[in-house]
Amino acid sequence: MTAPKLALSDNAVTDITADVVVIGTVQQDGGGFTLAPGGEAVDAVFDGSLVAVLTSLGATGKAEETVKVPTLGKLKAGVVLAVGLGKADPTPEQVRRAAGASARALTGVKRAHSFLSLVDLQAAVEGTVLGGYTFTEYKSDAGDGPVGRVDFSAASNKDNKATLKAATAIAEAVATARDLINTPPNDLYPASFAERAAKLGEAAGLTVEVLDEKALRKGGYGGILGVGSGSSRLPRLVRLAYKGPKASKKVALVGKGITFDTGGISIKPAANMDEMTSDMSGAAAVVAAVVLAAKLKFPLEVIATVPIAENMPSGTSYRPGDVLTMYGGKTVEVLNTDAEGRLILADAIVRAGEDNPDYLIETATLTGAQVVALGKRTAGVMGSDDFRDRVAGIGQAVGENAWAMPLPDELRSDLDSRVADLANVTGHRWGGMLAAGQFLKEFVPDGLEWAHIDVAGPAYNSGGPFGYTTRGGTGVPVRTIAATLADIAENG
Ligand code: BES
Ligand code: MN
Ligand code: ZN
């Protein structure tokens, strides 16, 4: 993506050099709307008529509505863009969404000045960058592109500069994940994904290790090799390690990296199979998150372990009935080759456990059952009780909706296998998201605080854009992981 140039400015309205000035509107309880901070100065230029003018153009303050008003020479900027924040008092998420909607309305504009930062600077920056995200790598004509530069109303002091820098880094990490997800599977396959991850890691000063198929065989990574065996593009395991100054805690990150999921021999139906290009969203998120941890210099040790494979049907594929010996020695009977994510994750989780981390955060587009249970915009979080609730709460707080889910014991016995230590699926369709969680739990070291975030729905937006979420890869749950790392850095 090409990110806009971002800056701080506390210029008075009449001194603003920009093409468009962005102000917020807020719905009133009894109907009507008011102007968010910054709006009163613009209103003064309009001789107090701005609310009336906006109302006549249909403005209501409703979340994400955008209404443009020409300034007719009253300002240097030719246009005022009013964006709805929704109900009072706006939360950071409301600001982020309004900023996202404003960025989408600013497509092709050279320079804008946003007053949304007077409500919340960090949210305004994140929403503006993410809402303006485009992926045009494969377009002959890239079109107008996002707004070229945005100045945010804020004093250019130390605190605000730090906030701008951090918010930009967070938004760029999300954009990095989106770029990886949006790269089509003929170009993003295990070796090329591993290479891009390694490059990102090296640029951030991380310790990088890539295991190719030979090294995987030598190491005994039966899950990754089994799933990857059907593709001519052989699997990889990437490890990216960051050690911060005065690292207090060690956090392991694991993310599912299936570069394309056909289902394998248990092949998927044709409808919407193209969306399985996003089956590496968990991997993209943890790669982006460990790079971000280094950029923000978190006082932590963060190690991402990223298993990458392509799930294809062929004469060399693994098959239903196969028994795989996983990294660490547990055996798994494969009853459905489409339940492949848990197999590559099991190897990676065991490997990550060898680092003796204090916490494990693992994320995956793991089950269709997640989407059935919670819909397209709310992730399911499973794991050890306290950490699960902590991560789900942080997800809600940063606007990446997440909900704690249980791991019922009876689903574990439903994974019992006739021949092996366990099977990769139960014999029924009930609680599919939780059964997958139970499978993963088998591979998590006893007593380790862990969270499994199933983002099958939230990782990919197959509908139209909304708020700061564009079409295609969303980058969820990068911000949840980033905020959890920040929380661990601060509170242990
Ligand atoms: N990658 C899919 C899960 C998925 C479904 C992600 C929809 C995003 C949107 C996963 O590998 C899968 O196929 N899971 C199976 C598991 C089943 C065979 C137990 C599923 O959910 O159907
Ligand atoms: Mn699958
Ligand atoms: Zn999958």
pLDDT of residue 276: 98
User: How many angstroms separate the alpha carbon of residue 386 from the centre of ligand 2?
Assistant: 29
DSSP annotation of 319 reads -
Q: Where in the chain is the domain with CATH 3.40.630.10?
A: 172-491
CA distance 390 to 403: 10
Low-confidence ranges of the chain (pLDDT < 50): none
CB-CB contact of 344 with 428 (8 Å): no
pLDDT at 3: 83
Write out residues with Cβ below 6 Å of ligand 1: 261, 279, 336, 338-341, 365-369, 371, 425, 432, 456
Q: Which CATH number applies to 172-491: 3.60.21.10, 3.30.300.30, 3.40.630.10, 3.40.190.10?
A: 3.40.630.10
Residue 178 amino acid letter: R
Every domain of the chain with CATH number 3.40.220.10 lies at 5-132
Ligand nearest to the Cα of 436, by number: 1
Looking at residue 2, what is its pLDDT?
Answer: 73
Query: Of the residues 178, 239, 295, 342, which is catalytic?
Result: 342
The CATH superfamily of 5-132 is Leucine Aminopeptidase, subunit E, domain 1 (3.40.220.10)
Task: Choose the residue to mutate in 338, 343, 461 for probing ligand 1, maximizing ligand atoms within 8 Å of C-beta.
Answer: 338
- pLDDT at 377 (0 to 100): 98
Tell me the three-class secondary structure of 368-407, residue by residue. Answer: HHHHHHHCCCCEEEEECHHHHHHHHHHHHHHCCCEEECCC
pTM: 0.98
Give the residue, by CA position, lying nearest to ligand 1 atom 6.
456
340 assigned binding-site residue: yes
**Cβ atoms within 10 Å, residue 405:** 22
Supply the pLDDT for residue 203. Answer: 98
- Counting ligands in written order, the one closest to the CA of 259 is 3
Residue identifier of the C-alpha nearest atom 8 of ligand 1: 456
Decide if 342 is catalytic.
Answer: yes
Look up 74 and say whether it is catalytic: no
Residue-level pLDDT at 1: 67
Hey, whose CA ends up nearest to atom 3 of ligand 1?
367
Q: Sheet harboring 422-423: ordered strands across?
A: 323-325, 331-333, 422-423
Q: How far apart are CA 448 and CA 408, in angstroms?
A: 18
261 marked among binding-site residues: yes
Instruction: Tell how far the Cα of 372 is from the centroid of ligand 1, in angstroms.
Output: 11
